[in-house]
Amino acid sequence: SRGLGDVYKRQVYGQGPFTISLDQNFAKKSGIVIYDNSTVKEFRRILEAGKLEFMDNISIRWIPDNIDTEAEGAHNGNNYIAYTFFIENNGNENLTYWAELVIDDVIRDADEAVRIMVFRNGEKKIYAKRNSNGEPEPDTIPFYSDQYVYIEPRENFYPNDVDRYTIVIWVEGDDPDCINDIIGGEMKMHLEINEEHVQK
Please determine, for residue 11, whether its predicted confidence score (pLDDT) is greater than 90.
Answer: no
Identify the pLDDT of residue 76: 92
Please determine, for residue 9, whether its predicted confidence score (pLDDT) is greater than 50.
Answer: no
Q: What is the pLDDT of residues 138-195, one digit of tens each?
A: 999 999 998 999 999 999 999 999 999 999 998 877 655 544 444 455 678 899 999 9
Q: What is the pLDDT of residues 100-139, one digit of tens each?
A: 999 888 765 567 788 999 999 999 999 999 988 899 999 9
Average pLDDT, the chain: 84
Residue 186 burial (10 A CB sphere; 0-12, 13-18, 19+): middle
Q: What is the pLDDT of residues 32-53, one digit of tens each?
A: 999 999 999 999 999 988 777 7
Integer angstrom CA distances of residue 70 from 2, 16, 63, 67, 81? 41, 22, 12, 5, 14
- The whole-model pTM stands at 0.86
